[in-house]
A and B are shown apart, each in its own frame.
Chain A
Amino acid sequence: MYKVINMDTEKLQKKYLPLTEAAYYILISLNKPRHGYGIMQHVNKITNGRIKIGAGTMYGNLSRMEKEGLITSVAEEDRKKIYEISEKGKIILKFELARLEELLGHGKSEMGDGK
């Protein structure tokens, strides 16, 4: 955790941003502890089925994010690993939200706010 604070903001952004849609949705879903399949269902639900994360993509993302310290495994039950977003993950997500907001803001101001 201390390493995160010492790490340059710019370096973190360069390394992790932009997140893929799958990574983004996995990270926000892990604001609550969930296991892989639980994340898949949650993302499917909140996006009305637009985003379906495949099992291979899910496993790969979870393994990589755990290794990178963006998420941590908090428990293991019935051969399922339960994950939660870490402090570092929250920092990355904050950067990403700011980036997306900027994108959205530019789009709206250039194209006109109304429909």
Chain B
Amino acid sequence: MKEVKTVWHWWWGWNTEKVENWLEEMEKNGWNLTKVDFAQIRFSFKKGKVRKMRYCWDYPTYPKDNYFELFKEDGWESMDNKMGPWFIWRKPYENERPRIYTDTRSLIEKNNRQIRTVIFGIIVTLVILSILSIGNFAGAKLISVLLILSLAFYGYIIVQLRQNNKKIKQDAIKC
């Protein structure tokens, strides 16, 4: 009988390295990833071969066909439904650990794309809040409070992403 297991694993957009490394470690122990679902935080594994497998999280905005084609040609396998906004890729390797980003600028741009998405979320939230402030129905207050809390959360994400950008600039990988 095949051994299988499902693990819930939360991750943050400013530090996907952590979940990427965790999956690589699982593969090293013979837990082969078979499926990622539930907003990409539920991971299913099957006990199998010990593999050296690199996992990479990508955040392109509205990627076109040539995006998927390019990754496929470079030997990356898609591990999600290709709906985004996050795309999970993996590639087996022997010696040199493959990367999808090989320069500092691209890593910073990846974070900036996330920041733009969050700013869009903030604007939408503010619009809803202003509509709620005019409207007068049951629950409007509660929803407003929740939205204001979400604004704090968005702010937190932006701070983290900007800090990560700072860190990237400091240890600037050359390419």
A residues at B contact (CB < 8 Å): 20-22, 35-37, 40, 51-61, 63-64, 76, 78-81
Contacts and interface: CB of A to CB of B under 8 A. Distances in A.
A56 B105 CA distance: 11
A54 B103 CA distance: 8
A57 B69 contact: no
Nearest to B75: A55
A91 to B, nearest CB: 21
B95 interface: no
Contacts of A22: 102-103, 105-106, 175
A78 B110 CA distance: 27
B69 A78 contact: yes
A79 B68 contact: yes
Contacts of A52: 102
A2 B29 CA distance: 60
B175 A53 contact: yes
Contacts of A76: 66
A80 B101 contact: no
A21 B103 contact: yes
A37 B70 contact: yes
Given A35-B66, A80-B70, 11 more contacts: A36-B73, A51-B175, A53-B102, A54-B102, A55-B76, A56-B106, A59-B60, A59-B67, A76-B66, A79-B66, A81-B64
A69 B70 CA distance: 21
Contacts of A78: 69
Contact of B109 (A37, A51, A60): A60
B95 to A, nearest CB: 12
**Listed residue (A22, A40, A57) with the most chain B CB atoms within 10 angstroms of its CB:** A57
B86 interface: no
A56 B175 contact: no
A40 B103 contact: no
Contacts of B69: 36-37, 78-80
